Amino acid sequence: MDFFELYDARARADEPIELPLRDQRTGEIITMGGKPCIVLVLGANARSIPPDAKAAMLKEEKAEQPIRDRLHAACMRAALAYIAGFKNMARRGEDGEAIPLTLDDAEAFLDLNVASVEHGAWRAPKRNEGETDEEYRQRVDQDRAVWRGASFAQQILDASREESRFLDRPRGN
């Protein structure tokens, strides 16, 4: 048994997970041809994400831009670094035929909808007086499960940060 292989969370973050995309308005999984539209997402701790990409995420937008535009630009810039590919997603080519999405389409894909301020504003509710740990955890989980209109970029960023999605699977999957 190789300890490093078993516990290398960063290596597992380099193995993309499949993120079924959700409709920003409804939260329903988006499908094409009866199959879920999938974005392959790298983990936030992936070694394969170049340092200059991580630095670009921190770049400030011009203050004169509206906050929503700045939020959208920052989310897009950050999410681009975590996209490893697409499944079951296509766009119409010049000849009208369906063309599978590639990494070259990632920026245009992320610009299809705008980051939701409400999604980013979620905070755990305050604990009620006399509430047990279990009651509070259940209430937080219920509140967290409410769909808050995450954009495609926000969905990708959320998935990239869910370390358990990368760790709770065998290596190579």
CA–chain centroid gap for 94, Å, is: 29
Q: Per the domain annotation, does 33 fall within a domain?
A: yes
d(CA 88, CA 98) in angstroms, rounded, equals: 11
Token pair 């999984």 is found at: 29
Provide the 10 A C-beta neighbour count for residue 43. 26
Counting Cβ atoms within 10 Å, is residue 42 exposed (0-12), middle (13-18) or buried (19+)? buried
State the total domains in the chain.
Answer: 1
Tokens representing 101?
Answer: 């999405």
Q: Per the domain annotation, does 40 fall within a domain?
A: yes
Q: What is the pLDDT along the chain (173 residues), one digit of tens a residue?
A: 788 877 788 888 899 999 999 998 888 999 999 999 999 999 988 888 877 665 655 565 556 777 778 888 888 999 999 999 999 999 999 999 999 999 999 999 999 998 877 765 556 778 899 999 999 888 887 876 666 788 999 999 989 988 777 776 555 54
Q: Per the domain annotation, does 173 fall within a domain?
A: no
- pTM for the full predicted model: 0.75
d(CA 14, CA 58) in angstroms, rounded, equals: 21
Q: Per the domain annotation, does 105 fall within a domain?
A: yes
Q: Per the domain annotation, does 19 fall within a domain?
A: yes
d(CA 12, CA 110) in angstroms, rounded, equals: 24
Domain carrying residue 103: 3-115+151-167
Q: What is the pLDDT of residues 33-62, one digit of tens each?
A: 999 999 999 998 888 887 766 565 556 555
Q: Per the domain annotation, does 146 fall within a domain?
A: no
Q: Per the domain annotation, does 67 fall within a domain?
A: yes
Q: Per the domain annotation, does 120 fall within a domain?
A: no
